[in-house]
Amino acid sequence: MQQTPNVDDANEAQAIADAFRDFVRVHQVLLNILIGKAGLFQTVPFIGAPIAAVLRQVENIVDTIAFGLIDRVQSQATELTNQAQSLSMTLKTTIDSYDGMNMRKRAISFKS
């Protein structure tokens, strides 16, 4: 996106904002599904850290896309910023859901 020119046409700017809004909506649906499934992975807690790591990479990519759009579609900067912040909050919640999983120590009892 470094060589991409600014978008000055109002119709194009609106189309980009609409597309980003859809992008955010779809990702939030997916992330909310992952949040809901986090409890299922408590039985295999070692899976939490890799999922959280991948989600952090997704977060970096989403930030890059959002900042690039905000810089190039300045007439929609407020809308794009609001959408990016909303998605960022959902990503953080999802990461937190998986980041806290730890291996539980299981007590073994021996019966005589």
Give the tens place of pLDDT for each residue, 15-41. Answer: 999 999 999 999 999 999 999 998 887
Show the DSSP H helices in 6-103 as ranges. Answer: 10-37, 48-72, 77-99
As a whole number, the mean pLDDT across the chain is: 88
Q: Is the predicted pLDDT of residue 110 greater than 70, yes or no?
A: no
Q: Is 91 exposed, middle or buried (0-12, 13-18, 19+ CB in 10 A)?
A: buried
| pTM to 2 decimal places | 0.82
Mean pLDDT of all residues in 5-9: 93
Q: Is the predicted pLDDT of residue 83 greater than 50, yes or no?
A: yes
Q: Is the predicted pLDDT of residue 44 greater than 80, yes or no?
A: no
CATH dotted code for 10-99: 1.20.1280
